[in-house]
Amino acid sequence: MQQPEQNRQGIIEQTLTEITQPFKDLFKASQVLWGINISYILEGLTYFGVLGLLAIYFNNSVGLNDIDAGQMVGILTGGITLSMLFLGATVDIIGVRKSLIISLVLMLIGRVLLTIGPSLFGTTGMWSSTHLMTMFGIFWIILGYGIYQPACYAGVKKFTDKNTAAMGYAMLYALMNLGGFLPGLISPPLRRSFGISGVFWAYVVLTVVGIAAVAFLITKKAMKEATEKLSPGEAEDVDEIEQMPLREKMKYYFKNFPLFDLRFLYFIFILIPVQTLFAHNWLTLPQYTSRAFTGFVQDNFEFFVNLNPIFIFILTPMVAALTTKSNTYKMMILGTLVMASPTFLLVLGPNIYTLFAFIIIMTIGEAMWQPRFLQWVAEIAPKGMTGIYMGIGQFPWFLTKIITSLYSGYFLIKYCPDHVPANQLHTETMWFYYGLIAIISPIGLLLAKKWMIKGFKTTADDTAAS
């Protein structure tokens, strides 16, 4: 009887080791990686904190109506995604540390201009001096963020090895979502005491702290030590690319430019259908929960709309720890399938239990595939081209925001209109169509698996797993 008991104990210990070891590896990670993580959580907090108040700021302080204020927010969010397409290569040209510092300084300039506009001019309305100043601030934020995010993921690629890579990407993604949650705790008391401008000044200070974190933690000495600690053969030596003459460097970039890679293009664009569920978090879910439900859900619809970021922060590192040895492409297929499938639960009709199940299961799926997507793009990038691959990899997300916004309003008017009793809505049909759209991604990834795996170089673990 002792032998089975010992076997069970051994299995439990082995399972706990597999779960906890990636966390231990990450906590032993280099000073450079900690610098990137600290900067990223501060930047996530600042970005989402500003974003959540920006439309109201344009209403109250700049004097714009709801339509114009919404367009200003759209310029910021869409502009950032688009700027990554053009500026992602910056990190490949000048390196991770310089890219992070330059990008944060640009965002600092932008946030100062955005904040001082109303008090500096005192004018209001579209195309007023105040409006032009705030728009000029947004321009610098867009430029900075277009460099910043590719630089962070290029840094994770450069300073992690096979033991820490999956957890490194997962933690970066989780910290971004934690940043999306924290303003809800920090912003309200500041706003009540000092107004929205006071909150924005606090975010300006956090941007300065982020610059200091990069400057003091991501030093040349720390980068050298981080590279030396990597497993043999894991370090990405891009010095030879950075030291190339400009003409040779441009020739190298043209030869390896990602838009010439059909497999890469297929991979990033086939994810658009499942990514529409992200966009529905703000295009459809608020209206759905406030119109199709009554009672607690209707009265507290913001709670359900904002559950995803905190769940992602909790679940992403856990999922990464449990799947760190799993094949990246396989996780993409399974993750997109898990994310798309619970949409069909909403076809059963408005119900708090199916709503909770949809949010939780969708979030688990997101935690399975989204960090792996970023990891996959970084892994397949040729030497010294991680930044441009990461930048172009974000372009379909820009298209997703645009495409989803073109039809979501029509579906709401047809199946979930306002000022109609909840029992007379037909939201089941709406979610059925949305489920059919989302499920295209895992099917497309599965059908192209052999072609994709054959065409891309992956890590040793992935190659063995496939």
> What amino acid is encoded at 68 in this protein?
D
Residues 399-424, mean pLDDT to the nearest whole number? 85
- For 64-126, where are the E strands, in sequence order? none
pLDDT higher for 67 or 35? Answer: 35
Would you place residue 383 in the very low, low, confident or very high pLDDT band (cuts 50, 70, 90)? confident
pLDDT at residue 460, rounded to an integer: 36
pLDDT, one tens digit per residue, over 124-147 is 778 888 899 999 999 999 999 989
Q: How many residues does the chain have?
A: 466
Among 98-102, 383-387, 441-445, the minimum mean pLDDT is found in: 383-387
Q: Which pLDDT band, with edges at 50, 70 and 90, does 102 fall under?
A: very high
What's residue 283's pLDDT? 76
Kindly state the average pLDDT of the residues 279-306: 80
CA distance 68 to 58: 8
pLDDT for res 350: 92
Hey, where are the domains in the chain? Answer: 25-226, 255-455
The whole-number pLDDT of residue 428 equals 95
pLDDT tens digits, one per residue of 152-184? 888 888 887 776 777 777 778 778 878 877 887
Q: E strands along 191-331, which residues?
A: none
Closest listed residue to residue 179, CA positions, set 346, 48, 11, 303 = 48
Domain 255-455: assigned CATH number: 1.20.1250.20
Q: Is residue 52's pLDDT more than 80?
A: no
Using the predicted structure, report yes or no on whether residue 442 has a pLDDT greater than 70. Answer: yes
Name the pLDDT band for 25 (thresholds 50, 70, 90): low
Between 70 and 393, residue with greater pLDDT: 393
The pair phi, psi for residue 222, each rounded to 5°, is -65, -35
What is the mean predicted confidence (pLDDT) over 366-373? Answer: 86
pLDDT in the model for residue 462? 43
Kindly report the backbone phi and psi dihedral angles of residue 226, in degrees, each rounded to the nearest multiple of 5, phi listed first. Answer: -65, -40
Average pLDDT, the chain: 81
Q: Count the helix, strand and coil residues of the chain and give each as a percent rounded to the nearest 5.
A: 85, 0, 15
The counts of H helices and E strands in the chain are: 25, 0
Q: Which of 10-19, 99-108, 301-310, 421-430 has the lowest mean pLDDT?
A: 10-19
Say what the pLDDT of residue 465 is.
38
Rounded Cα–Cα distance for residues 20 and 30 (Å): 18
CATH level 3 topology of 25-226: Growth Hormone; Chain: A; (1.20.1250)
CB 59 within 8 A of CB 69: yes
Residues 6+ positions from 171 with CB-CB distance below 8 Å = 26, 37, 316, 317, 320
